[in-house]
Amino acid sequence: MAEPVTTPRTAPRTARTHAPATTGPALLIQLHVFTDCDDVPPVVDAVRGSGLDAAVYENVNDPRGIAVLFATARADDLLDRVRPLLRAAPFRSFTPVPSFTMLGRTYLVGHETDAEEVLLHRPRVRVLSPELRWVVWYPLRRAGIFERLPLDEQRIALREHGTAGAEFAATGLAQDIRLSCHGLDANDNDFVIGILGPELPPLSALVERMRKTIQTSMYLEKLGPFFVGRVLWQAAK
Q: Residue-wise pLDDT tens for the chain (237 aa)?
A: 443 333 333 344 433 444 444 456 899 999 999 999 999 999 999 999 999 999 999 999 999 999 999 999 999 999 999 999 999 999 999 999 999 999 999 999 877 889 999 999 999 999 999 999 999 999 999 988 888 889 888 888 888 878 888 899 999 999 999 999 999 999 999 999 999 999 999 999 999 998 888 888 888 899 999 999 999 999 997
Residue 141's pLDDT is what? Answer: 94
d(CA 222, CA 89): 35
Per-residue confidence (pLDDT) for residue 181, from 0 to 100: 97
For residues 22 and 108, the answer to whether their CB atoms sit within 8 Å is yes
Domains assigned to the chain: 28-104 (3.30.70), 115-234 (3.30.70.1030)
Q: Which pLDDT does position 140 carry in this prediction?
A: 95
Q: List all residues 6 or more positions away from 229 whose beta carbon is below 8 Å from its beta carbon.
A: 57, 58, 59, 60, 67, 134, 135, 137
CA dist., res. 41 & res. 39, Å (int) = 6
pTM of the model: 0.87
**pLDDT at residue number 23:** 56
- What phi and psi values does residue 39 have, to the nearest 5 degrees? -140, 100
What was the pLDDT predicted at 31? 98
Q: What is the pLDDT of residue 112?
A: 82
Residue 52 near residue 1, CB atoms below 8 Å: no
Q: What are phi and psi of 194, to 5 degrees?
A: -115, 130
